[in-house]
Structure 1
């Protein structure tokens, strides 16, 4: 592939991204379609073999949540580390007080928030828009990665999102968006349960816990921060379930 081919590919990909900024008819799935979508979402997010890979995506969203929260307070994001063991870190200009607390909170809840938004987008006709925005954000993530494993993960996610934008049939965009959204919600619950186990059974890992770090910064018990994460995650799950139930005709 020569330079002209690469330029042509990039131009076509960009055109498809721009074409995605539209609203289509919302997903109106049959019961069978909903069952298949749910099965796919659970298949990528529950079995340990598949979670090894999908969990990397959830971790990337987690760290992007910290980064976005930092940017909303005016903090400079210096970089993001992602690792194959599904750990990660977001580095920003040092600060204290409410800005640091705000940044530290928005990690674990963000995959659930994004998942809920994707579920809503699938039923409201914004699937194409959401996937185009996601592809651009994952591509921009490459600018902030500061470690080798993170580069591999970020490149893989950017390629996956790019291929999705390129090859996913328009008729299936709602299905894909819903499956990813449910997967992120399941992933958020899994990560929270893993964090809870750090505070109950694997306390030697406490130093890396967002709840522990927030407790040290604020003087409030870590259990309150765990509860705060849980409230946001649970609210997102309930909203997503309500949206799915309404689409399935289970709500009057």
Structure 2
């Protein structure tokens, strides 16, 4: 690859793309909302939320000095991240806390990148994170799930037209922001029926001696805040585009 080619690639990666069409942000938000609200679509798309959830556990485990043992993603959209270290203390607490807030925080970071029209950069960062996660996957379905997701994101970033890239990026970010909230309600529904005695919230209760319901509330507060802030960021892209439309 020549120096000019590297320079062009770097400019493409870091450069800002054109402002999105006027209604793109609104339409993609509606699409993401339908995917999250419609159960048959949610059952499939929820795998992306699980990937972000388990990736959050894994990243925070590493950042807090724990040893990552591996990640499993299951066909029923559940997941498991195993790490070694002290069973109590801040490292374990933050590792447990990270899962249910990770999708929403990833969506918030994506909204920030889209606010600067860094669509290509957003897609390539997503591919890189998926590749790093793939290294730690320990089951076949998990590996296939991450590979397929990464391949789709890469194909869009490399081959698709700018308008398609923008639509894909906005749907993805909206989906993480909106879809990050629903699992918290699902968690509490299952807990109330006694079907998740070892949930992240219950494990946090064991580590911190603070009731599990408090931690469910923390998950929900962070996710809703990310949705509101990210929504304002994305709406900031929509309103100027609408106001300047002929």
Q: TM-score, normalised by structure 2?
A: 0.87
Q: Indicate how the Cα distance of structure 1 residues 22 and 223 shifts in structure 2: closer, same or farther if over 3 A, else same.
A: same
Please, which of 206, 215, 237 is the counterpart of residue 225 of structure 1? 215
Aligned 1:30-179 pairs, distance under 5 A: 30=22, 32-95=23-86, 96-179=88-171
- 2:236 corresponds to which residue? 246
CA contact (8 A) 2:156 2:165 kept: no
Q: 1:210 aligns with which of 179, 200, 205?
A: 200
Alignment gaps of 5+ in structure 2: 1-5, 241-246
User: Structure 1 residue 15: deviation in Å?
Assistant: 10
Aligned-partner Cα distance in 1 for 2:67–2:118: 31
2:189 corresponds in structure 1 to 197
User: Matches of 2:205 and 2:101 in 1, distance apart?
Assistant: 17
Cα displacement (A) at 1:243 = 1.6
Structure 1 stretches of at least 4 aligned residues deviating more than 4 Å after TM superposition: 14-20
| C-alpha RMSD of matched pairs (Å) | 2.3
Cα distance in 1 between the residues matched to 2:97 and 2:131: 24
Q: Count residues in correspondence.
A: 235
Q: Deviations over 1:97-131 (max 9, x none)?
A: 11100111000011001112212222212221111
**Any idea what SS the aligned residue of 2:19 has?**
coil
Q: How does 1:20-39 map to 2 (within 5 A)?
A: 20-25=12-17, 27-30=19-22, 32-39=23-30
Q: CA deviation at 1:79?
A: 0.6
Q: Is the 8 A contact 1:198 1:206 kept in 2?
A: no
Q: TM-score by structure 1 length? A: 0.85
- Structure 2 SS opposite 1:89: strand
Deviation at 1:246, TM superposition (A): 2.7
What is the alpha-carbon distance in structure 2 between the residues aligned to residue 26 and residue 58 of structure 1?
28
C-alpha distance 134-20 of structure 1, shift in aligned 2 (>3 A): farther
Kept after mapping to 2: 8 A contact 1:122/1:175 = no
SS at match of 1:125: coil
Alpha-carbon displacement from aligned partner over 1:31-64 (angstroms, at most 9, x marks no partner): x323321232223333222212210011010000
Distance in 2 of aligned mates of 1:159 and 1:244:
26
Separation in structure 2 between the aligned mates of residue 20 and residue 147 of structure 1, nearest angstrom: 35
C-alpha separation in 2, matches of 1:61 and 1:15:
31
In structure 1, stretches of 5+ residues that fail to align are 1-13
* 1:183 aligned onto 2:175: yes
CA gap of 1:242–1:92, structure 2 versus 1, over 3 A, is same
